[in-house]
């Protein structure tokens, strides 16, 4: 079937992206779902730093690639062997497919699936997770395309009107969940909320700090506020984000400089900026006996400097958390219920909505640190 999607042909384009236009919204031929796969019509897609990291070359991926990984949509067709989803189901996309049987899948979300990670790195769908053929289902229509076969982004490729994903890459949600709420559940909320709940594991009375208030960081902050355990602190260099954090219920907010000057520390500190200096800030701000959770994704060669003696002398813990150390099928329904109860106002993460054609401008906004979560909303098909 013919779809429209945003294709990245080369990484490392110069900014502003609104002028260099690294993402080209074009026509694509999408093959039907194979065994274990589902076809969805996208209703919304979030613009995440993990997308920007591919565009700017911070996390290289094979190109050409149909970008996007945080999405919400409606199932239109299921492949052979998919018996627990039916056309019409509303789903959230998840950027890490899981085989369910490897050693990592048996760690209750702590480690990412081994074959799922391999297929993501290769830019294809996981197939049967056997490590054999991983056929692409994306082909560029334009006769001018030098490489008509397109790679998938993190098994999702949701900057498009439709997508084919492995069954393990979608989680069903209620039809009452709006698209702009559903989409962040699969990445921003799953990652940020899980960094607090699954990795940080705060207890009654614990103070919780979040360093870096982008989409993931603000989702972590909202989760911490909803827990009502103790003081919640937001840290960011952007005054507008600090003001927004205060509006959402943060008890205290600081710039990194103010944090250091005041000597503020917390029991659980989540670093969500993806920068080595942010990790150092988070580590220094962790209380005696506390836990530093790092969820940001810096450049692979970035280095941070900490004092190892502090770990021993203060009995502290540093934890890495990928995808919120989550089991998506278990955790997304929890966040959905928290939203439904009013304790997790996911809609407050949305800083702007846009059309797919505005995707390059959205990357500029993200790179400039002016967005929390921008959401691409797709038009309803004509009846």
The CA-CA-CA angle for residues 81, 87, 88, to 5°, reads 145
**Mean pLDDT score of the chain, rounded to an integer?**
94
Residue 19 belongs to domain with CATH number: 3.90.180.10
- Does some domain include residue 278? yes
Please give the pLDDT value at position 383.
52
115-119, long-range: CB < 8 A, 24+ apart = 116/155, 116/168, 119/155
- Does some domain include residue 383? no
Burial-class residue 381 by CB neighbours within 10 Å (0-12, 13-18, 19+).
Answer: exposed
What total number of domains does the chain contain?
2
Please give the pLDDT value at position 146.
66
Do 7 and 93 belong together in one domain?
Answer: yes
Of 322, 353, 368, the domain-final residue: 322
Please give the pLDDT value at position 133.
45
- Does some domain include residue 335? no
Pairing state of beta strands 70-78 and 232-235? unpaired
Q: What is the pTM of this model?
A: 0.95
How far are the Cα atoms of 63, 83, 191 from residue 331, in angstroms, in the given order? 32, 21, 10
Do 146 and 245 belong together in one domain?
Answer: no
Do 77 and 161 belong together in one domain?
Answer: yes
Please give the pLDDT value at position 380.
76
- Does some domain include residue 100? yes
Alpha helices, H only, 44-89 = 49-55
Q: Between 215-227 and 239-248, two packed helices, what is the crossing angle to 10 degrees?
A: 30
- Does some domain include residue 16? yes
Task: Give the residue numbers spanning the domain of 17.
Answer: 2-175+345-377
Residue 236 belongs to domain with CATH number: 3.40.50.720
Do 307 and 359 belong together in one domain?
Answer: no
Do 256 and 109 belong together in one domain?
Answer: no
- Does some domain include residue 15? yes
Residue of 42, 72, 68, 71 lying closest to 55 (CA atoms): 68
Do 310 and 167 belong together in one domain?
Answer: no
- Does some domain include residue 180? no
End-to-end CA gap in the chain: 18
Do 235 and 128 belong together in one domain?
Answer: no
Quote the radius of gyration of the chain (alpha carbons, Å): 20
Do 167 and 203 belong together in one domain?
Answer: no
Do 46 and 140 belong together in one domain?
Answer: yes
Please give the pLDDT value at position 79.
95
Do 245 and 106 belong together in one domain?
Answer: no
Token pair for 94: 């998840």
- Does some domain include residue 216? yes
CA distance 94 to 287: 33
CA distance 195 to 227: 13
Residues of the chain with pLDDT below 70 are 130-135, 143-147, 382-383
Do 353 and 285 belong together in one domain?
Answer: no
Return all residues near 105 (Cβ < 8 A) that are at least 6 apart.
Answer: 98, 99, 111, 113, 114
What are the backbone angles phi and psi of residue 304, rounded to the nearest 5°? -120, 155
CA distance 112 to 225: 27
Do 76 and 165 belong together in one domain?
Answer: yes
């Amino acid at each position: 079937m013919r779809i429209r999607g945003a294709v990245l042909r080369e990484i490392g384009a110069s900014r502003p992206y609104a002028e260099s236009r690294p993402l080209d919204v074009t026509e694509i031929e999408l093959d039907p779902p194979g065994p274990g796969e589902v076809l969805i019509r996208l209703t919304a897609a979030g613009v995440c730093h993990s997308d920007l990291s591919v565009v700017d070359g911070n996390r290289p991926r094979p190109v050409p690639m149909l970008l996007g990984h945080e999405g919400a949509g409606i199932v239109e067709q299921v492949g052979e062997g998919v018996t627990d989803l039916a056309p019409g189901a509303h789903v959230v996309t998840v950027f890490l497919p899981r085989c369910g049987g490897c050693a990592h899948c048996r760690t209750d979300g702590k480690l990412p699936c081994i074959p799922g990670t391999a297929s993501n790195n290769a830019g294809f769908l996981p197939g049967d997770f056997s490590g054999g053929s991983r056929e692409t289902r994306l082909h560029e229509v334009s006769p001018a395309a030098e490489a008509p076969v397109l790679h998938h982004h993190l098994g999702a490729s949701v900057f498009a009107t439709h997508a084919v994903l492995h069954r393990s890459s979608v989680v069903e949600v209620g039809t009452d969940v709006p698209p702009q709420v559903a989409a962040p559940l699969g990445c921003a909320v799953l990652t940020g909320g899980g960094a607090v709940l699954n990795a940080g594991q705060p207890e009654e009375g614990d103070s919780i700090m979040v360093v870096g208030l982008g989409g993931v960081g603000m989702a972590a902050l909202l989760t911490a506020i909803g827990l009502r355990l103790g003081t919640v602190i937001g840290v960011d260099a952007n005054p507008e984000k600090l003001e927004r954090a205060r509006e959402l219920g943060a008890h205290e907010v600081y710039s990194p400089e103010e944090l250091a000057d005041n000597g503020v520390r917390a029991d659980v500190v989540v670093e969500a900026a993806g920068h080595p200096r942010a990790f150092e800030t988070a580590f220094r701000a962790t209380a005696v006996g506390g836990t530093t959770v790092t969820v940001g994704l810096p450049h692979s060669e970035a280095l941070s400097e900490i004092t190892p003696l502090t770990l021993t002398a203060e009995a502290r813990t540093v934890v890495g958390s990928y995808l919120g150390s989550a089991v998506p099928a278990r955790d997304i329904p929890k966040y959905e219920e928290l939203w439904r109860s009013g304790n997790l106002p996911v809609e407050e993460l949305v800083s702007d909505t846009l059309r797919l054609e505005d995707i390059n401008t959205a990357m500029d906004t993200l790179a400039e640190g002016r967005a929390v979560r921008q959401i691409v909303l797709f038009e309803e098909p004509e009846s």
